[in-house]
Amino acid sequence: MGFVLHPRLMADTAVIVDWSLSRVLLMNDKRFPWIVLVPRRPNLAELFDLDETSRTVLTHEIARAAERLKGWASRRGGTDKINVGIIGNLVPQLHVHVVSRKRGDAVWPGTVWGAGQPEHYGAAELMRVVGEIRDAL
């Protein structure tokens, strides 16, 4: 079977764009500018499940997402650090979190995973932010 986005990721995010390897998603949590990259290949759990060439592509996609998200966040309300995480303790499908963090944000200096409750965007706001970040990426 080909690539199918994990239902938990589908429920928690909105699609921004497909890049050459990854589907780029916006986490529906307005506490943080938070992108998730999911390589569009079946049966991946760990970074080393990708062949070397794809791993290189993924790295460049992560770096691009991080740099552009930093630019977008700095124009929007500021950013102090980009956090990148490949966790997967709950959702086994390989996915990469790229999160813009700011001193004094909801969980600073802690990490965002499992911290507090997500605050969802309103429907119109979600569409607007998806569009803005798509343009920024």
Residues that bind a copy of itself (CB under 8 A): 45-48, 50, 52, 55-56, 58-60, 62-64, 66-67, 70, 80-90, 92, 101, 108-111, 113-114
The nearer residue to a copy of itself, 84 or 127, going by C-beta atoms, is: 84
Residue 89 backbone dihedrals phi, psi, to 5 degrees: -70, -30
Chain centroid, CA 30 distance in Å = 13
The nearer residue to a copy of itself, 59 or 131, going by C-beta atoms, is: 59
Nearest-approach distance from CB 45 to a copy of itself, in angstroms: 8
End-to-end CA distance of the chain: 30
Nearest-approach distance from CB 67 to a copy of itself, in angstroms: 4
Nearest-approach distance from CB 12 to a copy of itself, in angstroms: 15
The nearer residue to a copy of itself, 5 or 91, going by C-beta atoms, is: 91
Nearest to 13 by CA among 28, 34, 32: 28
For every residue of 13-53, which 3-state class applies, written as one string? EEEEEECCCEEEEEECCCCCCEEEEEECCCCCCCHHHCCHH
Nearest-approach distance from CB 97 to a copy of itself, in angstroms: 9
